[in-house]
């Protein structure tokens, strides 16, 4: 059935060959062989099953197709099968230099006959007779493919089936994929015959390698990814053992000068399997002929396989007749030595003909030996060197990775955990793009490396000396549990806790399987190793499960409504106060709580206290979303910490006492000690962080009230715990006193100035390149966003004034700070009716209008007074910060704000206005605003003479925004002529109100997302406004009689 299927596939290949314009042929050609012929097509890197089957049929078809000669213009003499005989279908070799290439050169068109003299001069007699026997068509027809098994030249499944059956070869032999083994169960008689041939041992091994299809031909090297090409380096055709031995140009030159009977038998034998080919040749030739054949066989293969290099390394071309005589030289050398031994005493064992032949092909000969032997020697050395350089290096690399890959990966996993331990502590205090990249890379690689290593362990068998590798599986679970100071990189990671739960189950099972398949628990002398493994496995499972639990807790939309202030303590420490009021930011960022009540015993606190508490709570909310702190500082969290550290230390001690360590690799032993020590250090770090964390206040307050309700026997333990927490407090205060980790968040504001960006990117080479690749907006935002500035005390005072001013205002009133957006400040100055259009529009437009107007006013102020007052710095920073949010972090704005208007305004100012510098642009804007105000036009009017080649695609909104910004800047200057400092205060108050509006109405998940990058001042403002809503202000406390 299999052979019949091959015949059917051969029919499909025949149709593709003879019907190239059919739909199937065109599709396959477009996909698999667009630039070559079907007979030369390759399998490709990702072939379909259909293409694989077609190529199987083509391999069968190749055995029976032949070119029928018409005019001879499309048939290559040396590449195509065109001779009509049972043997090889191509000529063996040429007897003259520069022979013709096309069959048409052998045909006399005037007489419609062969050029007999040229043919007999060019080809060996065996080939010449076959060529002259081919009839020539007297009509001018093209050459075509014919099926040699049928008289009419048409393919039939029946004849293909008979052809395959007649050769008695299965499909594997036809495709040369299953050569078989050299065992007695697989044609043992044939292998015995090959091993009993009386030839040199080296040649016997060579015959065995040839029969096993293990000669380093180009196709085999390419199949094993040791070479880039599968083509013969001499003739460019597809290489194989048969091509290198019989069909290559050099091989044909060698066989052409051999005995005619031998050449005829070689040509007649078309068996595709090397072993069967050798067996048939041994049966058809006499023993002497077969023995003399071996040097030529080996030389033909060596020269063909290295023909591309032999001329370069030897600098001369070996003539074929010299190669043929190499076998005869061996007999002559052996005869001369026998004669010499008869005359001289034998000091060494006699050397046979086989040994003499080995001497020739191994280079152990005198200088006067035949030069072909020297050529064979150099080719062999060159071939071996080339294989060692290319294939050997790759094999060594693969073997090295298989042997030590697990060690490298586990070491990388430990290094990634240390990196996360260090960098995660910094990221909430510093807003840095480089730091974000480092943390993000380490966070993703840590999980990927551990999961890949566990999977690799579960499917890879280890050598006996590396069985200790299985002991490392629990360490990978420990690493998957991560560090306490980073459980999630972004807020989205918390929502994927179910995915982490699934990974937790799979990886625990994988680690258990690795341990089950290992020999760790085998042997009485290694009981302690098994105990240490179980301890580390439990530690790894607990740590990994704790991380999944922390992600699940952080992903919940609302908490249980615990009231930390139910313990009712009047504490002035900002750390404890921040924990007492932690429900306030939770209510803001995680959703409404079931109960939001506060104890009046907390007492009054000032603005400084409230601002400090808000900063601390920003850090605490970072711990809730991205760390395990809330999970650690509970009774079960402390129990885990108390249990894991002793368990890890115990595992280290047990491993130290394991006997019979001589069977393990020394490198593995050292690595195990490193990873055990690293695990102990990481656990100690975790315990110390828990002791010195402000989160211990939660447990501390509980301990202080427990002794009254606990039996006397338990009180010493509670006092001991209280002593531990007090020690942790001393450590924390000492760290803060020296200034280490003093900040609770980044404490900075990003800066982006619209006018500076437009004036510098207009002629910037980098902006032009970014514009050419379509990334101009991203480039300008990245490059022209300056370094962040620290939040100053002046800003804190300005924020305090604005917040206190809204305490007595109804929260639903439009003038309340959470709604006003600059309206209240304008009303206080009596400018609301005149400038209401600047604050009542969309938030993104208001930011753009007031940002440009602020720059115009400050530029006028500096030019008019030769200096800028100190409050102007805060005003400029606030203006640049709000523009930074619009340009770089629009997700920190309310939902109705859009970045599109900013992009349109950039396009208008950069490409359609004429200016050379930022000063010119500000003067242009001021003049444009003066013109609008002088004519008393509406803000939407555009002055035409400012715009150069304004395209129709420019939107009306960008022109309106530009006009409003210029007009507002001009109005601020005209209103500030008499009291410029008062106008500067007005601008600052407007910006503070916009900031408060933005922070309060920003989405909670955006606040939470930004906590991973150091936080924003808008989040601090939002927490302060939550305090005001909860009546936690100094004014409200005084009104309540505090």
Q: What is the CATH number of the domain that holds 551?
A: 1.20.190
What's the total number of domains in the chain? 4
| Band of pLDDT at residue 987, cut at 50, 70 and 90 | very high
Which has more pLDDT, 556 or 887?
887
156-182 per-position pLDDT tens digit: 888 888 887 776 544 444 334 444 444
Phi, psi of 325 (to 5 degrees): -80, 0
| Band of pLDDT at residue 851, cut at 50, 70 and 90 | very high
221-243 per-position pLDDT tens digit: 766 667 766 677 666 666 777 77
Q: Estimate to the nearest angstrom the gap between the alpha carbon of 57 and the chain centroid.
A: 39
Specify whether the backbone of 603 is left (phi greater than 0), alpha (psi in -120 to 50) or beta: left
Whether residues 69 and 159 share a domain: the answer is: yes
The CA angle 806-807-812, to the nearest 5 degrees, is: 70
333-389 per-position pLDDT tens digit: 555 555 555 555 444 444 444 444 334 334 433 333 344 444 444 444 444 444 444
Q: Would you give the DSSP letter of residue 592?
A: -
What radius of gyration, in Å, describes the C-alpha atoms of the chain? 44
Task: Please report whether residue 114 resides in a domain.
Answer: yes
Q: Does the structure show a pLDDT above 60 at 740?
A: no
Whether residues 23 and 63 share a domain: the answer is: yes
Residue 46, Cβ density class (10 Å: 0-12 exposed, 13-18 middle, ≥19 buried): exposed
Whether residues 803 and 784 share a domain: the answer is: yes
Q: What percent of the chain is modeled with pLDDT above 90?
A: 10
Which has more pLDDT, 727 or 298?
727
Q: Which residues contact 507 (CB under 8 A, 6 or more apart)?
A: 450, 451, 454, 476, 477, 480, 544
Contact criterion met (CB below 8 Å) for 62 and 39:
yes
Structure tokens at 35: 């630039």
Residue where a domain stops, chosen among 532, 555, 578: 555
Contact criterion met (CB below 8 Å) for 207 and 278:
yes
| Band of pLDDT at residue 995, cut at 50, 70 and 90 | very high
d(CA 352, CA 226): 38
270-323 per-position pLDDT tens digit: 566 777 777 777 666 666 666 555 555 555 555 444 443 333 233 333 445 555
Structure tokens at 100: 């013709």
d(CA 297, CA 285): 14
Task: Please report whether residue 1039 resides in a domain.
Answer: no
Q: Is the dihedral angle over the CA atoms 980, 982, 984, 987 positive or is it negative?
A: negative
Torsion (CA) 763, 769, 773, 774 in degrees, nearest 10: -30
Residue where a domain stops, chosen among 352, 368, 387: 387
Whether residues 149 and 219 share a domain: the answer is: no
Average pLDDT over residues 1014-1027: 85
Structure tokens at 212: 């096993």
Q: Does the structure show a pLDDT above 70 at 566?
A: no
Which has more pLDDT, 35 or 201?
35
Whether residues 373 and 405 share a domain: the answer is: no
Whether residues 312 and 376 share a domain: the answer is: yes
Least Cα distance to 99 among 131, 68, 66, 63 occurs for 131
Phi, psi of 837 (to 5 degrees): -60, -20
Q: Is the dihedral angle over the CA atoms 243, 244, 249, 255 positive or is it negative?
A: negative
Average pLDDT over residues 816-824: 83
Average pLDDT over residues 813-820: 78
Task: Please report whether residue 494 resides in a domain.
Answer: yes
Task: Please report whether residue 1042 resides in a domain.
Answer: no
908-925 per-position pLDDT tens digit: 898 888 888 889 999 999
pLDDT for 177: 44
d(CA 833, CA 965): 17
Q: Is the dihedral angle over the CA atoms 274, 279, 280, 281 positive or is it negative?
A: positive
To 10 degrees, what angle do helices 607-626 and 1017-1029 make? 120
Q: Does the structure show a pLDDT above 90 at 881?
A: yes
Average pLDDT over residues 602-614: 68
d(CA 210, CA 412): 45
Contact criterion met (CB below 8 Å) for 404 and 385:
no
Structure tokens at 457: 């362990």
Whether residues 441 and 490 share a domain: the answer is: yes
pLDDT for 424: 84
How far apart, in Å, are the Cα atoms of 354 and each of 197, 300, 458, 683? 11, 19, 51, 71
Which has more pLDDT, 722 or 628?
628
Contact criterion met (CB below 8 Å) for 483 and 417:
yes
SS3 assignment, position 785: strand
Residue where a domain stops, chosen among 534, 555, 576: 555
Whether residues 229 and 301 share a domain: the answer is: yes
SS (H, E, C) 84-151: CCCCCCCCCCECCCCCCCEHHHHEECCCCEECHHHHHHHECHHHHHHHHCCCCCCCCCCCEEEECCCC
Task: Please report whether residue 350 resides in a domain.
Answer: yes
Task: Please report whether residue 197 resides in a domain.
Answer: no
Whether residues 379 and 404 share a domain: the answer is: no
The tokens 């650690």 sit on which residue?
632
402-428 per-position pLDDT tens digit: 777 888 888 899 999 999 988 888 887
pLDDT for 1040: 43
Q: Estimate to the nearest angstrom the gap between the alpha carbon of 675 and the chain centroid.
A: 26
The tokens 């001009």 sit on which residue?
970
Whether residues 544 and 527 share a domain: the answer is: yes
Whether residues 964 and 877 share a domain: the answer is: yes
DSSP code string of 969-1027: HHHHHHHTTT-HHHHHHHHHHHHHHHHHHHHHHS-HHHHHHHGGGT--HHHHHHHHHHH
The CA angle 771-776-782, to the nearest 5 degrees, is: 145
Beta strand residue intervals within 137-188, DSSP E? 144-147
d(CA 414, CA 428): 23
Structure tokens at 892: 């920190």
Which has more pLDDT, 607 or 833?
833
Structure tokens at 78: 């040396």
- Structural domain that includes position 537: 395-555
Task: Please report whether residue 659 resides in a domain.
Answer: no
Q: What percent of the chain is modeled with pLDDT above 70?
A: 66
Task: Please report whether residue 631 resides in a domain.
Answer: no
Most confident segment among 274-278, 714-718, 996-1000: 996-1000
Whether residues 957 and 879 share a domain: the answer is: yes
pLDDT for 604: 53
Average pLDDT, the chain: 74
Q: Does the structure show a pLDDT above 60 at 250?
A: yes
Contact criterion met (CB below 8 Å) for 570 and 604:
no
54-92 per-position pLDDT tens digit: 888 888 888 788 888 888 888 888 888 888 877 677 887
98-151 per-position pLDDT tens digit: 888 888 888 888 888 888 888 888 888 878 888 888 888 777 788 888 888 888
Contact criterion met (CB below 8 Å) for 939 and 886:
no
């Amino acid at each position: 059935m299999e052979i019949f299927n091959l015949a059917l596939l051969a029919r499909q290949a025949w149709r593709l060959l003879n019907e190239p314009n059919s739909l199937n042929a065109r599709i396959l050609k477009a996909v698999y062989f667009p630039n070559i012929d079907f007979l030369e097509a390759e399998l490709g890197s990702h072939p379909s099953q259909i293409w694989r089957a077609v190529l199987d049929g083509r391999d069968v078809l190749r055995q029976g197709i032949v070119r029928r000669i018409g005019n001879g213009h499309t048939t290559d003499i040396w590449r195509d099968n065109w001779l009509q005989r049972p043997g090889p279908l191509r000529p063996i070799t040429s007897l003259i230099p520069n022979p013709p290439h096309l069959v048409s050169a052998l045909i006399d068109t005037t007489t419609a006959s062969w050029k007999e003299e040229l043919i007999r001069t060019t080809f060996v007699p065996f080939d010449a007779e076959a060529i002259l026997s081919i009839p020539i068509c007297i009509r001018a027809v093209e050459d075509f493919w014919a099926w040699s098994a049928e008289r009419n030249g048409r393919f039939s499944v029946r004849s293909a089936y008979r052809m395959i059956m007649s050769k008695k070869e299965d499909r594997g032999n036809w495709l040369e994929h299953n050569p078989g083994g050299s065992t007695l169960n697989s044609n043992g008689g044939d292998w015995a015959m090959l091993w009993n041939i009386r030839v040199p041992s080296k040649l016997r091994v060579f015959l065995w390698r040839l029969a096993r299809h293990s000669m380093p031909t180009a196709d085999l090297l390419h199949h094993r990814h040791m070479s880039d090409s599968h083509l013969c380096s001499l003739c460019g055709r597809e290489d194989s053992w048969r091509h290198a031995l019989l069909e290559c140009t050099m091989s044909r030159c060698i066989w052409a000068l051999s005995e005619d009977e031998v050449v005829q038998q070689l040509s007649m034998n078309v068996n595709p399997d090397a072993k069967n080919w050798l067996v048939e040749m041994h049966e058809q030739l006499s023993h002497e002929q077969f023995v003399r054949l071996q040097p030529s066989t080996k030389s033909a293969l060596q020269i063909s396989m290295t023909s591309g290099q032999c001329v370069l390394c030897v600098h001369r071309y070996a003539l074929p007749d010299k190669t043929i005589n190499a076998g005869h030289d061996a007999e002559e050398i052996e005869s001369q030595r026998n004669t010499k031994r008869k005359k001289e005493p034998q000091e060494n064992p006699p050397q046979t003909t086989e040994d003499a032949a080995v001497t020739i092909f191994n280079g152990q000969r005198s200088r006067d030996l035949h030069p072909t032997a020297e050529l064979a020697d150099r080719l062999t050395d060159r071939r071996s060197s080339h294989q060692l350089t290319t294939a050997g290096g790759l094999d060594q690399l693969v073997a090295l990775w298989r042997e030590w890959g697990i060690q490298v990966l586990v070491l990388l996993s430990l290094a990634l955990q240390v990196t996360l331990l260090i960098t995660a502590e910094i990221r909430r205090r510093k807003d840095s793009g480089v730091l974000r990249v480092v943390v993000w890379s380490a966070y993703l690689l840590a999980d990927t490396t551990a999961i890949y290593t566990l999977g690799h362990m579960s499917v890879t068998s280890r050598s006996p000396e590396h069985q200790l590798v299985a002991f490392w599986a629990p360490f990978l679970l420990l690493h998957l549990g991560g560090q306490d100071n980073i459980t999630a990189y972004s807020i989205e990671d918390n929502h994927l806790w179910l995915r982490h739960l699934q990974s937790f189950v799979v990886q625990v099972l994988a680690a258990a399987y690795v341990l089950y398949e290992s020999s760790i628990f085998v042997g009485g002398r290694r009981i302690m190793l098994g105990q240490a493994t179980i301890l580390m496995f439990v530690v790894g499972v607990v740590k990994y499960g704790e991380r999944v639990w922390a992600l699940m807790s952080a992903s919940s939309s609302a908490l249980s409504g615990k009231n930390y202030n139910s313990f009712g303590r009047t504490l002035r420490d900002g750390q404890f106060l921040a924990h007492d009021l932690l429900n306030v930011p939770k209510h803001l960022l995680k959703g409404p709580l079931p109960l939001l009540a506060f104890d009046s015993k907390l007492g009054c606190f000032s603005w400084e206290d409230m601002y400090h508490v808000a900063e601390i709570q920003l850090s605490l909310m970072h711990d809730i979303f991205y760390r395990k702190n809330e999970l650690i500082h509970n009774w079960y969290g402390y129990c885990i910490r108390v249990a894991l550290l002793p368990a890890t230390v115990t595992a280290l001690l047990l491993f130290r006492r394991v006997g019979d360590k001589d069977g393990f690799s020394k490198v593995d032993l050292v690595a195990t000690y490193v990873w055990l020590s690293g695990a102990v250090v990481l656990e100690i770090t975790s315990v110390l962080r828990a002791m010195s964390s402000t989160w211990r206040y939660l447990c501390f307050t509980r301990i202080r009230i427990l002794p009254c309700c606990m039996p006397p026997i338990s009180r010493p333990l509670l006092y001991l715990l209280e002593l531990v927490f007090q020690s942790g407090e001393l450590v924390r205060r000492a760290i803060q006193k020296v200034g280490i980790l003093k900040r609770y968040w980044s404490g900075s504001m990003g800066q982006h100035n619209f006018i500076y960006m437009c004036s510098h990117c207009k002629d910037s080479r980098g902006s032009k390149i970014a514009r050419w690749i379509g990334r101009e907006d991203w480039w300008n935002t990245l490059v022209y966003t300056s370094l962040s500035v620290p939040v100053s005390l002046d800003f804190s005072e300005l924020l305090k004034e604005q917040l206190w001013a809204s305490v007595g205002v109804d929260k639903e009133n439009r003038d309340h700070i959470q709604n006003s957006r600059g309206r209240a400040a304008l009303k206080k100055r009596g400018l609301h009716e005149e400038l209401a259009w600047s604050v009542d529009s969309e938030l993104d437009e208001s930011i753009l209008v007031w940002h440009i107007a602020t720059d115009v006013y400050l530029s006028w102020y500096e030019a008019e007074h030769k200096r800028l007052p100190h409050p102007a710095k805060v005003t400029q920073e606030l203006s640049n910060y709000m523009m930074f949010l619009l340009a770089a972090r629009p997700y920190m704005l309310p939902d109705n704000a859009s970045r599109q208007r900013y992009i349109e305004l950039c396009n208008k100012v950069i490409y359609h206005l004429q200016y050379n510098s930022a000063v010119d642009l500000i003067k242009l804007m001021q003049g444009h605003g003066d013109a609008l105000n002088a004519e008393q036009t509406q803000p939407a009017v555009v002055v035409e003479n400012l715009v150069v080649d304004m395209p129709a695609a420019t939107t009306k909104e960008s022109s309106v925004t530009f006009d409003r910004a210029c007009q507002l800047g001009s109005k601020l200057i005209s209103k500030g002529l008499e009291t410029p400092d008062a106008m500067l205060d007005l601008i600052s108050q407007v910006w503070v109100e916009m900031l408060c509006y933005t922070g309060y109405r920003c989405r909670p998940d955006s606040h939470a997302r930004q906590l991973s990058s150091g936080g924003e001042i808008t989040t601090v403002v939002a927490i302060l406004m939550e305090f005001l809503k909860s009546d936690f202000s100094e004014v409200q406390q005084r009104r309540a009689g505090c």
